[in-house]
Amino acid sequence: MDSSSLFTIHKTLSEPGLFTLNKDREPEQAPCETVSQLQESVQKESDEPAVQKQKLRKRKIDQTELINAITMLGPSLVTLAYLPYVPAFDSYALLVFIHCFVHMPFSMIHHTNMGLGDPNEGQAGMGLIFRRLDYSFIHVACILLSFGLSRSNNFGMLSIFINGWFIMKIWRYDVKKSGPQEPPVTGVALTVTLYIFSMLFHGQYIDFILSAAMMGLALLVFKVNLLGEHSHPAMHVCLALPQFFFLSHAVQLNHW
């Protein structure tokens, strides 16, 4: 390498600022956010007012629904009072005895959930499950009464088929397509009529008439909305009355 080349390299390397920082140069900007990050940020900001509104909204207490839950204890208390007279080894009488306790907890859970202000009014999520369990175990109780009051396994199996069909309808109901799910009044009226008429198998006409009258009164109070917003709890109270006749019928047949 000649002297001219060495001189050129030395001159180039000695130029000011080649290996020094330029103080006047602006610092580099941070990389811009991606499109997805920007969208998430915008969505979060737009959702914040709705979330805050949801948190601030208070759950409205429905006293009538809470009364519905409490009055469901009525039929079970009447049934419990009859316990000393229920034969311990009579399976049919025991089915009549336990039918109230099978349905009661699910009904109380549903009405309590509604009373505490379910924001979906029992038409979505766990509230809808509670509602359907309440409706379903009405039919389970009807099956137990059909066996117990008729003392016929064949009649009981018929009841399983009919009530099972109504239970299936309850769980297959599409709230989104058909609207809010309502109490299955028609199905319950049919299956209640079924087990009450089974009393006639043994010629117990007085038990049949009194039980039918009490159950008819309960249905009338609820269906006609006889007492306004208090019709539903009043129906529960009315349902306590026929429990005595159901148990009396079952115990009498034990002594035949």
pLDDT tens figures, 143-162: 999 999 999 999 999 999 99
- Residues 143, 6: Cα–Cα separation, whole Å: 109
Per-residue pLDDT for 16 more than 50?
yes
Confidence of residue 69 (pLDDT cuts 50, 70, 90): very high
- Residues 157, 155: Cα–Cα separation, whole Å: 5
List the structure tokens of 106.
């699910």
Cα 18 to Cα 11, 15, 54, 96: the distances in Å are 12, 6, 61, 100
Per-residue pLDDT for 131 more than 80?
yes
For domain 60-254, the CATH class is: mainly alpha
State the chain's mean pLDDT as an integer: 83
Domain boundaries, the chain: 60-254
pTM score? 0.76
Per-residue pLDDT for 52 more than 90?
no
Q: Give pLDDT, residue 184.
A: 93
Q: Give pLDDT, residue 10.
A: 47
Per-residue pLDDT for 84 more than 80?
yes
Identify whether the C-beta of residue 149 lies closer than 8 Å to the C-beta of residue 250: yes
